[in-house]
């Protein structure tokens, strides 16, 4: 079975190569080829998963060594794969949800002239993400990490004729480069400390390494995770990434890019377990981001950007859980998987709405769509109930577990983190109910588009609705399936470890508090958007609302601190270069030139001048000698 692991990557990588290099002859069939190869990777994943289930918990890890990548003395880097319970979870999520998004894209991109290239980029995205999660060493993980960054750049800017899309792609690429510096430094520290990049030797040696070194590595890994998973302070790219086609948004937010940071932290759990300060910083970053993203989601009228704020917030929950250590590692991944179902479904539902509304994204110009798009309404509604944690649906089981784990952290930290997670649950219920009410309920508020076309909302074709239905089923049942009998805990514990913690609150109390928070959020949203007509033009709003519409001024902060700060730093360095460095260099050159010019006058070629010089020198020597004798 080990020999099948490489096929997981080979299938979509082959699709990317053929579709991107095959030329226009594949324009009519390329989308089918890309989808088939994504599905083939999923089938291989299922076969490997079935084989893994047939083994004991401690014997499930598989390894495949392909070849030595960089074999030099003292430096060994291999192209080798590792498949264990953690990586298998990601493989099934990436290939399963990724295949559904491919199928959805067949209908969504039907009239796009560059559809073949789009599917080539989707295949490249899957291949890069698979390399990232099945690599058996950090250096190969870095290859997948950069591949994901490249693919996201190509897909976010796919409609590059739009300046906003080109700018968004460039922004995502540059912001992620900041995080990538953190990962590269972490890998360098690992090699100098452990002499290897491989997961096994590195993670096994953490018990013999100083806490300071582990803290430094952990903080650099966190910086990398903040970039890929859009966490504070590197979250500014995620909202603009909505400029790409909607299937791209679903792929980035549900199955690939933003999940990479969570995987990196959980995979490196032994490092963070040995560095409690770095682990606490991880939890704080997650807590801050889950509130940050939720507040942003409350103020957005663009349906995709509201969901982007939601993703930022939900990934914040996962990072918070990962920062709890063995108490939360498993629940971070559990919420990641359930989130993959309902967030992909929500984005595909948003794309379905746009498909029927002439690509309009402003929810203030929707209203009453449940009558015209019943399948979209039901599937989107189930995703909505799952993400707010409605009892019995997937989000209820996974997000509640994170809140319980936060309280189980104990002490003041546990109370603060648990309270923040509860507050986030209330805000989530508010902004998602707002999205639901503004889109599917109330009176219709449709308006002609810029070209004067009147919207005619209608249900999307089956190629789009079938993936939405499948994802809706996962949104309803996945969480309960994982929770019953502690299936997910038993599945991941051999890899991540697990600690129950000591919660000051009972499970029933936490569950009750979460449900109350949910009801409060829904009630406030109903009062503001259900009982009153929604104005087509957004009111000015409070200071916080206006700030949230501008992403809580994150771009303004970046512009003032980083852009202008960088400009001032550059000007200062140029001034120092011109005034000090060039001054010293030019001054030295001028001094030498002046001295040489004066000395040159002594070498004029006239014998009489040389005779006078010799006579003067002799006179000086004689005078000095007589003076010394006299003294």
Picking from 249, 243, 256, 22, the residue whose alpha carbon sits closest to that of residue 116 is: 22
Q: What is the pLDDT of residue 108?
A: 94
Task: Give yes or no for a contact between 347 and 254, defined as CB atoms under 8 angstroms apart.
Answer: yes
Burial class (CB in 10 A: 0-12, 13-18, 19+), 237: buried
Q: What is the pLDDT of residue 158?
A: 96
pLDDT along the chain (631 residues), means of 10: 92 97 92 97 97 90 93 87 97 97 95 94 97 96 96 95 93 94 96 93 94 97 96 93 93 89 97 97 97 96 96 97 97 97 96 93 94 96 97 95 94 95 97 97 86 86 96 96 95 95 91 97 96 90 91 87 84 88 87 83 75 85 85 68
d(C-alpha 63, C-alpha 81), whole Å: 6
Structure token digits, residue 603: 């070498």
Burial class (CB in 10 A: 0-12, 13-18, 19+), 453: exposed
d(C-alpha 504, C-alpha 508), whole Å: 12
How far apart, in Å, are the Cα atoms of 70 and each of 3, 67, 108, 341, 588? Answer: 22, 9, 43, 39, 47
Characterize 349-365 residue by residue with b for buried, 16 or more Cβ atoms within 10 angstroms of its Cβ, and e for exposed. bbbbbbbbbbebbbbbb
Q: How many CA atoms lie within 13 A of 615 on its CB side?
A: 6
Task: Give yes or no for a contact between 210 and 246, defined as CB atoms under 8 angstroms apart.
Answer: no
Q: What is the pLDDT of residue 467?
A: 97
DSSP H helical ranges for 409-449: 411-440
pTM of the predicted model as reported, rounded to 2 decimal places? 0.90
């Amino acid at each position: 079975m080990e020999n099948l692991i490489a096929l997981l990557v080979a299938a979509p990588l082959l699709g990317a190569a053929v579709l991107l290099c095959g030329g226009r002859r594949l324009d009519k069939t390329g989308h089918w080829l890309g989808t088939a190869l994504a599905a083939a990777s999923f089938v291989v994943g299922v076969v490997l998963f079935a084989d893994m289930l047939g083994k004991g918990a401690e014997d499930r890890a598989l390894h495949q060594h392909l070849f030595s990548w960089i074999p030099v003395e003292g430096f060994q880097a291999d192209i080798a794969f590792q498949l264990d319970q953690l990586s298998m979870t990601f493989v099934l999520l990436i290939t399963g949800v990724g295949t559904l998004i491919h199928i959805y894209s067949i209908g969504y991109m039907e009239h796009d002239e560059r559809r073949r290239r789009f599917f080539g980029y989707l295949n490249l995205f899957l291949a890069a993400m698979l390399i990232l999660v099945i690599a058996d060493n950090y250096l190969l993980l870095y290859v997948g990490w950069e591949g994901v960054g490249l693919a996201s750049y190509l897909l976010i800017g796919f409609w590059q004729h739009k300046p906003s899309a080109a700018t968004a792609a460039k922004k995502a690429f540059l912001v992620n480069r900041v995080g990538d510096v953190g990962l590269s430094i972490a890998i360098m520290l690992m090699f100098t400390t452990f002499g290897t990049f491989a997961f096994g030797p590195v993670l096994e040696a953490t018990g013999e390494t100083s806490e300071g070194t582990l803290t430094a590595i952990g903080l650099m890994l966190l910086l990398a995770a903040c970039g890929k998973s859009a966490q504070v302070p590197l979250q500014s790219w995620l909202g603009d990434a909505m400029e790409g086609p909607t299937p791209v948004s679903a792929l980035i937010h549900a199955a690939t890019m933003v999940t990479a940071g969570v995987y990196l932290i959980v995979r490196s759990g032994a490092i963070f377990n040995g560095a409690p300060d770095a682990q606490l910083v991880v939890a704080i970053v997650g807590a801050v981001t889950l509130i940050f993203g939720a507040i942003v989601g409350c103020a957005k009228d663009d349906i995709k950007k509201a969901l982007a704020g939601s993703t930022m917030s939900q990934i914040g929950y996962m990072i918070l859980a990962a920062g709890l250590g063995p108490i939360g590692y498993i629940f971070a991944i559990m919420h990641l998987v359930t989130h993959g179902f309902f967030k992909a479904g929500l984005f595909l539902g948003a794309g379905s709405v746009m498909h029927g509304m002439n690509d309009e994204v402003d929810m203030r110009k929707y209203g009453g769509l449940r009558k015209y798009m019943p399948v979209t309404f039901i599937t989107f509604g189930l995703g909505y109930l799952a993400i707010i944690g409605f009892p019995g649906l997937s989000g209820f089981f996974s997000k509640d577990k994170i809140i319980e784990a936060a309280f189980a952290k104990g002490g003041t930290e546990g109370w603060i983190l648990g309270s923040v997670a509860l507050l986030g649950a209330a805000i989530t219920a508010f902004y998602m109910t707002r999205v639901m009410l503004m889109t599917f309920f109330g009176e219709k508020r449709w308006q002609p588009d810029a070209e004067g076309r009147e919207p005619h909302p209608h249900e999307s074709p089956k190629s789009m609705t079938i993936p939405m239905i499948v994802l809706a089923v996962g949104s309803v049942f996945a969480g309960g399936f994982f929770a019953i009998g502690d299936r997910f805990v038993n599945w991941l514990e051999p890899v991540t470890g697990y600690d129950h913690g000591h919660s000051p609150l009972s499970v029933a109390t936490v569950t009750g508090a979460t449900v109350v928070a949910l009801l409060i959020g829904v009630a406030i949203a109903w009062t503001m958007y259900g009982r009153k007509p929604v104005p087509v033009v957004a009111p000015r709003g409070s200071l916080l609302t206006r700030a949230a519409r501008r992403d809580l001024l994150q771009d303004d902060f970046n512009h003032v601190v980083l852009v202008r700060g960088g400009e001032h730093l550059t000007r200062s360095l140029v001034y120092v270069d011109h005034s000090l460095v060039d001054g010293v260099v030019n001054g030295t050159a001028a001094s030498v030139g002046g001295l040489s010019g004066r000395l040159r006058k002594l070498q004029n070629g006239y014998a009489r001048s040389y005779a006078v010089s010799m006579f003067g020198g002799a006179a000086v020597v004689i005078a000095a000698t007589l003076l010394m004798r006299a003294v």
